[in-house]
Amino acid sequence: MMDPYDRYELIVNGRTVKTPIAIASMAGIVDADYVLARKENIGMAFIGGYSIDEATINASALMEEEGRKEFISTDPAATLKAEIEKLAGTDVIPAINLRGSSPESFVSIAHELGDGVIYEIDAHCRQPAMISAGCGEYYLQNTEKLAMVVSALKSTGVTVSVKIRAGVVEDDSELARLLWKAGADILHVDLMDFGSSKIKQIRNSCPLLLIANNSVNTFDRMKDLFAHGADMVSLARNSDVNTLNYLDMAISAYADETGWYNSPKQLCRGGDLRSLTFCCMPVKQCPLMPALKRAGMTPKEYHDLKIESVQNTPLASGSSTCFGSLAWCCKGSTPCMFRDISIKKEGISLADYMRYKRRLSEKIMKRLFDEDNREEEIAG
């Protein structure tokens, strides 16, 4: 049986993710016991949402009076400690979805609970009582305050996730960049009715780990989200044991067969920036040229980066290929006799080839966003 890291190469909060499937928070429903009943087929779980200060606790009480399920506690830190302790010893990475009305509220909880859990800022709830309390979608209407919460929470040294609802702000790409610059590690996106194109848009805007949420209940839906840039998917209402088991088995089989569970489409077929790993040498007018221009990279920089990045790997070889190196070869699902001959000469499988392509993609993305950081620092 393949090791989870070898299968997905995914580490979050210092732990290997055993499967890229998470449970999303549902207030009053998703607690530790809910997670434990589903632990075999998930890699991460967001319990909550939990209100953590007076304003949001009062809002939760009002929402409960109106008939909604809520987790209400006069001592949120103690409640959360008990819930997190229940998950200790499992291979599910714990995360807590928090509703707070000020940076200080989040910082206080982080000091109480430490860095063994992921902290998710709830900028997603659209209930009027929670918005009036200065939480949930209030943060999407006041993104500068959301950025302040992210920065404050990140200053404690913990892993920070932000749960948002797509389409609330004018430009989700700009929001993603703002949250990345503020210090977020994870962006958890309820896609609403926008579909996978929204994930691609966000993927091209930031290097954050992306979790796609909303109506993930078939393998085709999950695979489409992965192909457009999601690192993980999350389920809420569909997180029954049978659905989770089916999705977990399907993605593990797909990962073992292909070598890269969330490989993008090729650029010329609508792929996100990760697909630069599959592009050929920049010698003709094709979708590569405008993509490089938008990314702020010259064709020579792209050429040199790929050559440099594949040194001492099997991708450096490939004398029988179009451009003399597997660095310039296409996705494994695209038929190519010359690529396959070179792969065979190197003694690796097609799945191994895709694993190397994934690592090349990570180097390209790192350079793109590192360069972006440097340019902004110089401009500042």
Q: What CATH number did the domain enclosing 106 receive?
A: 3.20.20.70
Domain boundary among 223, 258, 293: 258
Residue type, 334: T
Give pLDDT, residue 374. 38
Give pLDDT, residue 377. 38
Domain boundary among 239, 258, 277: 258
Tell me the per-residue pLDDT of 314-359, one tens digit each, with 9 for 90 and over.
999 999 999 999 999 999 999 999 999 999 999 999 999 999 999 9
The answer to whether residues 185 and 227 belong to one domain is: yes
Number of domains in the chain: 2
- Residue 171, token pair as written in the block: 């430009």
The answer to whether residues 291 and 251 belong to one domain is: no
Question: What is the average pLDDT across 253-258?
Answer: 97
Tell me the per-residue pLDDT of 271-292, one tens digit each, with 9 for 90 and over.
999 999 999 999 988 999 999 9
Is a pLDDT exceeding 90 seen at residue 2?
no
Is a pLDDT exceeding 50 seen at residue 103?
yes
Over the chain, what is the mean pLDDT? 95
Estimate the share of the chain in helix, then strand, then coil, as percent rounded to the nearest 5: 50, 15, 35
Give pLDDT, residue 38. 98
Give pLDDT, residue 177. 97
The answer to whether residues 153 and 16 belong to one domain is: yes
Give pLDDT, residue 378. 30
The answer to whether residues 308 and 226 belong to one domain is: no
Distance, CA of 158 to CA of 120 (rounded, Å) = 10
List, in order, residues 6 or more apart from 213 with CB less than 8 Å away.
24, 188, 189, 190, 191, 233, 234, 235, 236
* Single pTM value for the model: 0.96
Give pLDDT, residue 97. 98
Distance, CA of 53 to CA of 74 (rounded, Å) = 9
The answer to whether residues 242 and 196 belong to one domain is: yes
Share of the chain above pLDDT 90, in %: 94
Give pLDDT, residue 370. 86
The answer to whether residues 37 and 165 belong to one domain is: yes
Give pLDDT, residue 375. 44
- Residue 162, token pair as written in the block: 């932000």
Give pLDDT, residue 285. 86
Is a pLDDT exceeding 80 seen at residue 133?
yes
The answer to whether residues 242 and 349 belong to one domain is: no
Helix axes 219-227, 241-258, angle to 10 degrees: 50
The answer to whether residues 128 and 8 belong to one domain is: yes
Domain that holds residue 178: 4-258
Give pLDDT, residue 371. 54
Q: Is the dihedral of CA 362, 182, 10, 275 positive or negative?
A: negative
CA distance to 38, 132, 163, 213, per residue, from 193 (Å): 27, 25, 16, 11
Question: What is the average pLDDT across 367-373?
Answer: 76
Tell me the per-residue pLDDT of 56-83, one tens digit each, with 9 for 90 and over.
999 999 999 999 999 999 999 999 999 9
The answer to whether residues 162 and 288 belong to one domain is: no
Question: What is the average pLDDT across 139-162?
Answer: 98
Domain boundary among 231, 258, 285: 258
The answer to whether residues 83 and 38 belong to one domain is: yes
The answer to whether residues 318 and 374 belong to one domain is: yes
Tell me the per-residue pLDDT of 167-202, one tens digit each, with 9 for 90 and over.
999 999 999 999 999 999 999 999 998 989 999 999
The answer to whether residues 139 and 232 belong to one domain is: yes
Strand partners, 253: none
